[in-house]
Amino acid sequence: NSKVIQTPRYLVKGQGQKAKMRCIPEKGHPVVFWYQQNKNNEFKFLINFQNQEVLQQIDMTEKRFSAECPSNSPCSLEIQSSEAGDSALYLCASSPDSQNTLYFGAGTRLSVL
Amino acid sequence: GDSVTQKQGQVTLSEDDFLFINCTYSTTTYPTLFWYVQYPGQGPQLLLKVTTANNKGISRGFEATYDKGTTSFHLQKASVQESDSAVYFCALLASSGSWQLIFGSGTQLTVMP
């Protein structure tokens, strides 16, 4: 069983609504990634952190998505104004360092109606 | 740029059949390669990791060897079981600003009893 905890498992939002999901990385893992997996099983990298600092994020993330990994709190990914195309499985993964194996949570499945 | 190619979208086998899934990669750096398995309703789970230091990985009866000459990283198993039915992803650890996983398109394995 994964030690990366993602909540909620399912999220249903209307278009234009905010959608927020959380991730508790595996203990001792300072590196956190967020990926979006669509219905065709394609993975899209969104953003990654080392401790509380953003390492890299894609343009989409900079505009409508916001994410943070505060110390002593769960990491979070929030979509400010959901669109139908945001419907996907959002995966959080953690790693002991930036060039190591990623360990994934079960994901949050977002449906935007 | 770095990329991973899985051409087999679907593989259907019977129990005790031999499994072989193709994966090829392209990178300008020394590759670190992974096979992840994803069961329905779950996030990807690490199955195998192979680096240039150990060009072969074995786990749970699965085996993968990377071939630098042909830039291939195939997954095989001598005798599949119904419980192996899942989606298998080949992935490459690549550097694009920061290190991140680049996934193949996945192979849906269905094992008939």
Helix-strand-coil split of chain B, %, nearest 5: 5, 60, 40
Considering only CB atoms, A48 lies closest to which of B41, B93, B100, namely B100
What are A80's two structure tokens? 């400010």
Q: How far apart are CA B27 and CA B3, in angstroms?
A: 7
Size of interface A-B (CB pairs under 8 A): 53
What are B13's two structure tokens? 């086998």
**pLDDT (tens digit per residue) in A30-81:** 999 999 999 999 999 999 999 899 988 888 666 899 999 998 899 999 999 9
Q: A56: which chain B residues are within 8 Å (Cβ-Cβ)?
A: 96-98, 100
In angstroms, the Cα distances linking A58 to A68, B76, B77 are 14, 34, 37
- Would the CB atoms of B46 and A101 count as touching at under 8 Å? yes
Confidence of residue B54 (pLDDT cuts 50, 70, 90): confident
**pLDDT (tens digit per residue) in B79-90:** 999 999 999 999
| C-beta separation of B56 from B45 below 8 A | no
Q: A98: which chain B residues are within 8 Å (Cβ-Cβ)?
A: 98-99
- Would the CB atoms of B105 and A105 count as touching at under 8 Å? no
Confidence of residue A105 (pLDDT cuts 50, 70, 90): very high
Q: What is the 3-state secondary structure (H, E, C) of A4-20?
A: CEEECCEEEECCCCCEE
- Would the CB atoms of A56 and B101 count as touching at under 8 Å? no
Q: A47: which chain B residues are within 8 Å (Cβ-Cβ)?
A: none
Give A47's strand partners: A34, A57
**Residue B82 backbone class (left: φ over 0; alpha: ψ -120 to 50; beta: rest):** alpha
Minimal Cα–Cα distance from A38 to chain B, Å? 11
What is the Cβ-side half-sphere exposure of residue B57, based on CA atoms within 13 angstroms?
21
Give A89's strand partners: A37, A109
- Would the CB atoms of B100 and A56 count as touching at under 8 Å? yes
